[in-house]
Amino acid sequence: MTGTMRAPRSRGGLSGTLLVLLGLWGGLLPFAGPYFGFGFAPDDTWVYDTDRLQLVIAPAVAVVLGGLIVLAAANRAFGVFGAWLAALGGAWFVVGTSVATLWDVQGIGDPLGSGEGQRLAEQLSGFTGLGVAAVFLAALALGRFAVIGVRESTPPDGDGQAGATTTQPLVYGRYARENPPAPAPAPPGDRHIAGGTRFDR
Sequential pLDDT tens for the chain (201 residues): 455 677 776 778 899 999 999 999 999 999 999 999 999 998 899 999 999 999 999 999 999 999 999 998 888 899 999 999 999 999 999 999 999 999 988 888 889 988 899 999 999 999 999 999 999 999 999 988 887 765 555 555 544 444 444 555 555 555 555 555 566 666 666 565 555 555 554
Q: Which amino acid makes up residue 17?
A: T
The whole-number pLDDT of residue 178 equals: 56
The whole-number pLDDT of residue 197 equals: 54
What sign for the dihedral angle of Cα 39, 44, 45, 48? Answer: negative
The whole-number pLDDT of residue 162 equals: 46
Q: How far apart are CA 96 and CA 24, in angstroms?
A: 17
The structure's pTM equals: 0.71
Distances (CA, A) of 102 to 111, 129, 185: 22, 23, 88
The whole-number pLDDT of residue 49 equals: 92
The whole-number pLDDT of residue 74 equals: 84
Q: 4 Cβ partners below 8 Å, 6+ apart?
A: 76, 148, 152, 153
